[in-house]
Amino acid sequence: MFAASRIASAASKRAFSTSAANLSKVAVLGAAGGIGQPLSLLMKQNPHVTELSLYDIVNTPGVAADLSHINTNSTVKGYTPENDGLKSALEGAHVVVIPAGMLPVKIPGVPRKPGMTRDDLFNTNASIVRDLAEASAKYCPDAHFLIISNPVNSTVPIFAETLKKAGVFNPKKLYGVTTLDVVRASRFVAEVKNKDPKDCKITVVGGHSGVTIVPLLSQSGETFTKEELDALTHRIQFGGDEVVQAKNGTGSATLSMAFAGARFASSVLDATVGGKKGVIEPSFVQSDLFKDQGVEYFSSNIELGAEGVEKIHGLGEISDYEKELISKAVPELQKNITKGNNFVQ
């Protein structure tokens, strides 16, 4: 009896670990890039990950060989387009994180200048994201897709429309990664209030560019002067520009983005593989919150569950100041989303 129950329990453990193993392949597309490399390093440290699959058009064999020496339990494989690399990278993936793209600075003769917006990346990144979505629809239609490539307000609709065309779109499993905005907001508010950022949780809603980034500072539990409010709001909305300017034409945020992307991916794994409840993160997802104003995707706090987006949180009570910010965000979001939708249609 005792032996039988031990055997049963061993069998159920084996069944669990087999299904967990199948569920925990994480693919990073754009893995050799500025974000891709440190993001992959962080994912190598995540205990839920059993296989790390690194795809890029160049250099992934080296990145994979390097990461594969780290003594955590996941295996690491690097793929390039040769030998059906994208297919192998995606097959069986549970989570696909996408920081693939081209920064204008890398296109000869088109250096990135201060003042450029994320929308200026559309022409280079739209087709990259569409092609990766087509492959994802084919090789891992049930995966969770985390889109980092800019402009997020348009690349998420591009990814969604491409999956829809293939008949495999699941809105609960497509996320625009806006975590960096809340990471920055927390840090910037902590600096102003001389606090530990872990005690400054700031909700940020809307989208991921300029005026579409709307921090809800009235919900932070802190009080701000009008000057502080203006300065913080501007800094959170245009935090990306600080990095672009400091990097002086060589790129945009990579390390803080890797941190933020790994945080979001880890939350998805915690909820979907780890069975953790009450996991809440912000994300740009298909949402009804502003649908009546023609905005099909919106970033707000979402609760993650075993199947992805379980609940989309509303904005709660917001100040007149924030209502004004939302009124500026909505038309810009409409424009960005339509541009993404039209690209595929």
Catalytic residue among 48, 144, 208, 313: 208
Backbone angles phi, psi at 322, to 5 degrees: -75, -35
**Pick 43 or 253: Cβ nearer ligand LMR:** 253
Alpha-carbon distance of 345 to 338, in angstroms, equals: 10
Q: Pick the stretch among 20-28, 34-42, 89-97, 323-331 that binds ligand NAD (CB under 6 A).
A: 34-42
Among 99, 104, 282, 308, binds ligand NAD (CB under 6 A): 99
Cβ burial, residue 56 (10 Å; 0-12/13-18/19+): buried
Q: Using CB under 6 A, which residues numbered 56 to 75 contact ligand NAD?
A: 56-58
Q: Pick the stretch among 20-28, 135-143, 148-156, 263-271 that binds ligand NAD (CB under 6 A).
A: 148-156
Cβ burial, residue 118 (10 Å; 0-12/13-18/19+): buried
36 is in an annotated binding site: yes
Rounded to a whole number of angstroms, the CA Rg of the chain reads 20
Cβ burial, residue 157 (10 Å; 0-12/13-18/19+): buried
14 is in an annotated binding site: no
263 is in an annotated binding site: no
Active site residue 234: no
Among 89, 189, 200, 244, binds ligand LMR (CB under 6 A): 244
Among 40, 125, 218, 237, binds ligand NAD (CB under 6 A): 125
Residues 6+ apart with CB under 8 A from 242: 235
Backbone angles phi, psi at 169, to 5 degrees: -75, 125
Alpha-carbon distance of 262 to 177, in angstroms, equals: 10
In whole angstroms, how close is the CB of 244 to ligand LMR at the nearest point? 6
Q: For residue 293, what is the DSSP state?
A: G
Cβ burial, residue 238 (10 Å; 0-12/13-18/19+): middle
Residues 6+ apart with CB under 8 A from 291: none
**Pick 150 or 286: Cβ nearer ligand LMR:** 150
Residue length of the chain? 345
Alpha-carbon distance of 253 to 240, in angstroms, equals: 7
Among 78, 85, 101, 239, binds ligand NAD (CB under 6 A): 101
Contact between 240 and ligand LMR by CB under 6 A: the answer reads yes
Alpha-carbon distance of 29 to 147, in angstroms, equals: 10
**Pick 135 or 244: Cβ nearer ligand LMR:** 244
Q: Transcribe 8-44 into DSSP letters.
A: HHHHHHHHHHHHHHHHTEEEEETTTSTTHHHHHHHHH
Q: Using CB under 6 A, which residues numbered 242 to 301 contact ligand NAD?
A: 251-254, 257
In whole angstroms, how close is the CB of 64 to ligand NAD at the nearest point? 13
Among 28, 34, 268, 290, binds ligand NAD (CB under 6 A): 34
In whole angstroms, how close is the CB of 225 to ligand NAD at the nearest point? 29
Q: Using CB under 6 A, which residues numbered 68 to 127 contact ligand LMR?
A: 118
Query: Applying CB under 6 A, which residues contact ligand NAD?
Result: 29-30, 32-36, 55-58, 99-103, 106, 121, 125, 128, 131-132, 148-150, 152, 177, 180, 208, 251-254, 257
Enzyme catalytic residues: 208
Query: Applying CB under 6 A, which residues contact ligand LMR?
Result: 118, 150, 180, 240, 243-244, 252-253
Binding residues for NAD(+): 30-36, 56, 125, 148-150, 257
Binding residues: 30-36, 56, 112, 118, 125, 148-150, 184, 257
